[in-house]
Amino acid sequence: MPTNPERDPEDPSGAEHPKIATEFSRNLTLLQITMMGVGMMIGAGVFLGVGNAVRVAGPGGVILTFALNAVIALFTAMSYAELSSAVPRAGGAYNFARIAFGRGTSFIAGWMEWFASSVAGSLYAVTFALYTVHYFTQLGIIQATGFKLVLVEKGVAILIASFFVYINYRGASETGTMGAIFTLGQTVTLAFIALVGIGTAISDPSRLANFQPFLPNGWDKLLITMGFTYVAFEGFEVIAQAGDEAIDPRRNLPKAMIYSIVIVMFTYVGVAFASIVGVKDVGQPVWIWIGSYGGKGFGEAISRLIPSYGSILVTITVIFASTSALNATIYSATRASYALGRDRMLPAVLSRLHPKRRTPYMALLCTGGLVIVVAAFLPTIDVASSASMMFLFLFFLVNLCVIRIRRQMVDEMTYGFVMPLFPIPPIAAILTQAVLAVWLIHMSPIAWVVGPMWILSGLIIYHMYSKHRATRTEDEIVVIREEPIPTKGEYRILISVANPANAVALAMNCYRFCQAKGASTEVEVINMVSIPPQVPLSEASKYTQEGEEAITEAMLYLAPRYAFGSTIRYCRNFARCIISAAAERKADLLIMGWQGHRRRGFSLGSTVDPVLERATCNIAVFKDCRQRKYMNVLVPFAGGPNATFSLETASIMVDKDEGRVVVLHIAPPGKPTQDIDAFLDETVPQLNASRSLFEAKYVIARDRFKILLEEAEQHDLMVIGATRDPVFRQQVMGSLPEEVARHCKKPLIMVKAKHPIKSFIKRYI
């Protein structure tokens, strides 16, 4: 197998490690990946789920269970669809978490995904075995009872799992084709059962009485059955794993996810309805009779619905459904473990591809072993509940990822699908999945033991192995060199410098803030390294010369007087790097420069706009501020959250002996003016400045933009507050502060004060 030697940037020895080849064959069509998702969903969920759901929640409860779970699943499916269209790679939730939250969280996501899909696969293998052995027992072919019967069922489960491990080994095309064939077969047979049930209810309306009482055990039992059967809607996740192998993944992955949810919802509701109306004259309430058979209740009900060939039809359906689901789950779990090996989170051997078949055969071998062990040793109900638990945790995380990525990295992503009504769907999914996870303890307490134990084991493996071996990705922020200030003092300023030419000017302006804040002020300088896209991350240290010179310039000006630290970092997106550093270093103020250039699609620029919108501290953006003295400073005043910080900045920049700060309010004709003097009387005492330094000025005019530019020409410096509107709204509606900043010919500072609550949410949530 061909390899490429590459230096591992995490290895201080600089040793070369073989980079495992990762080229998949791209030949999965929209139909194949849709059927893969449908096949993974229509497995044990409908067969084991109907009988158990009827037993717990009643006849109406089983219908509502599947219908409501479909809605919840659709919310999460939209999150998967959006993220998969932006990151179409094998790995699914692991990739999303790596971008949104970094290495540790991504490892746990991949670890959970591997386990959840493997456990679901073992559930489908067990389902196949239960129904197949039960049918052959009825025919008299198998005569085992008791413990021997259990051994036969486990043996059949192991054999069918081993067979589909081999099918996956054969290649993605064979996997997709086999999955499509079995899924189409199961869909046709289940649709036939649903139609027979509907026809039976029409011809004999008295059977609708089987739905009375509709919810005999109350609404709260519905939460238990929804938690238990939620695994029945896990399947769109496998579609996300096909990013490296699907044709036109940015378009086809989202389509397949939505299509699969809709197909499965109608199928589940239809067969659940058929199960209830199919039973008659059993001497007790129908829901109790079906529930008494537990996981086999569906088969018994359909045998009553279609007496002549119901049993064989159910057996055929189970064979189609459980095997297609088993095929898909093995595929999904294999890709999850492959992704962990690809990025060295787990041993790189997991990322090896077969040189001829282009399948990750080592990851497949480990996944097959996990599926077989779980199928052989865990009870069925606990297998299903453990799978549901892990998927609930996983989907909870993916919904957080879509919110965080849309919030912080939307300008870096190329989306093929964007969910409507954002962020309502992921928030709704998070809340409902949290409730379902809590209520799942009523069905299987073991699930609340197995799930957390698997996560705990993942945390241990990550800290002992993965953390120090994982390779860097293009989305990561790389700290190249750092000399931080160890502990946070009373006030910390972070300066973002791009090159030596502007470092002194920013340091000079920073010095003014340091003087105002006192001797305990700390200053840290951050420089982002600019690297050509084709250069690997391991070569980033070769591009640090300009950054080191800029830091040196700032250090010479500030270090003799104040605690000083520095960091040189690399990220494909400078804005995210700055925002991350400000939050990480717990900065109180971020100072950065702006040359006045505007990039299309942004108000001020691709770096300044996101920083102003998302940073968690006060921000001051300096444009052409190189003077040592500012005698006349203009502060436009319209109230709002930035007013006090604008006035404070002006009081710091103005010459204290002979300067003045003019606070200007422009009111449209016929509109009342705001009381600047009252604002000054309240605010100035907090600024350690003289009230005589400030004066109020009122102007009545319609064209505020024109007046502001004319007034700016009469002053040495303008300090203006940034808009609070998001960048998207600024692009659509326009924003006066940003328009003034672009056209103002005089030195200008744009400031934005942090919002305490929003800053807390952005930093920690």
The secondary element (H helix, E strand) that includes residue 661 is strand 660-667
**Can you give the pLDDT at residue 547?**
82
Q: What is the band of 176 on the pLDDT scale with cuts at 50, 70, 90? A: low
Give the SS3 label for residue 752: strand
In this structure, are residues 45 and 232 in contact, taking their beta carbons and an 8 Å threshold? yes
For the ranges 342-351, 396-405, 478-487, the lowest mean pLDDT is seen at 478-487
The type of residue at 238 is V
pLDDT score for 731: 44
Mean pLDDT of 349-356: 87
> pLDDT grade, residue 674 (50/70/90)?
confident
Task: Tell me the CATH number at 102.
Answer: 1.20.1740.10
Residue 2 in this model has a pLDDT that exceeds 60: no
pLDDT at residue 172, rounded to an integer: 62
Q: What is the DSSP string of 552-598?
A: HHHHHHHTTTSEEEEEEEE-SSHHHHHHHHHHHTT-SEEEEE--S--
Q: Is the pLDDT of residue 531 over 90?
A: no
CA distance 69 to 232: 9
For residue 612, tell me if it sits in a domain. Answer: no
pLDDT per position as a tens digit, 77-136: 999 999 999 988 888 889 899 888 888 999 999 999 898 888 888 888 887 888 788 778
- Per-residue pLDDT of 563-619, as tens digits, reads 999 998 887 778 888 988 898 888 999 999 998 776 665 678 888 888 888 888 999
Last residue of a domain, one of 468, 497, 529: 468
Q: Is residue 595 part of a domain?
A: no
The CA distances from residue 214 to 64, 211, 219, 764, in Å, are: 10, 5, 10, 44
pLDDT higher than 80, residue 530: no
Identify the top-confidence range among 261-270, 443-452, 749-758: 261-270
Both tokens of 560, joined, read 């003799």
CATH number at residue 730: 3.40.50.620
In this structure, how many other beta carbons lie within 10 angstroms of the beta carbon of residue 141?
A: 9
Would you say residue 476 lies in a domain? Answer: no
- Cβ within 8 Å of residue 475, ≥6 positions away: 98, 99, 409, 412, 572
Rounded to the nearest angstrom, the gap between the alpha carbon of residue 278 and the centroid of all alpha carbons in its chain is: 43
The runs of H, that is alpha helices, within 343-379 are 361-377
- Domain membership of residue 598 (yes or no) is no
pLDDT, one tens digit per residue, over 360-418 is: 889 999 999 988 888 887 665 666 667 777 888 888 999 999 998 888 777 778 899 99
Which pLDDT does position 11 carry in this prediction? 39
Last residue of a domain, one of 434, 468, 502: 468
Burial class (CB in 10 A: 0-12, 13-18, 19+), 602: middle
- Judge whether 423 lies within some domain: yes
In a domain, 357, yes or no: yes
The pLDDT value recorded for residue 16 is 37
pLDDT in tens, 289-306: 888 887 778 878 888 888
Number of domains in the chain: 2
**E strand or H helix that includes residue 281:** none
The residue behind tokens 């085992």 is 144
Asked if residue 328 belongs to a domain, the reply is yes
* Confidence bin at 726 (pLDDT 50/70/90): low
For the chain, the first-to-last Cα distance in angstroms comes to 44
- Mention every residue, 6+ apart, whose C-beta is less than 8 A from residue 598: 604, 605, 742
Tokens (6 digits) for 416: 């093929």
- 448, part of any domain: yes
Please list, in sequence order, all residues whose beta carbon lies within 8 angstroms of the beta carbon of residue 734, skipping any fewer than 6 positions away. none
Model confidence at 261, in pLDDT bands (50, 70, 90)?
very high
Q: What is the pLDDT of residue 391?
A: 81
pLDDT more than 70, % of the chain: 88
**Highest mean predicted confidence (pLDDT) among 161-165, 185-189, 279-283:** 161-165
The segment with the largest mean pLDDT, out of 11-15, 253-257, 353-357, is 253-257
- The residue range of the domain holding 381 is 26-468
What average pLDDT does the structure give for the chain?
83
Q: In the prediction, which pLDDT does 382 show?
A: 65
**pLDDT for res 426:** 94
Q: What is the mean pLDDT of residues 63-90?
A: 91
Length of the chain: 765
Residue 23: predicted pLDDT = 59
**Domain end residue (candidates: 423, 449, 468):** 468
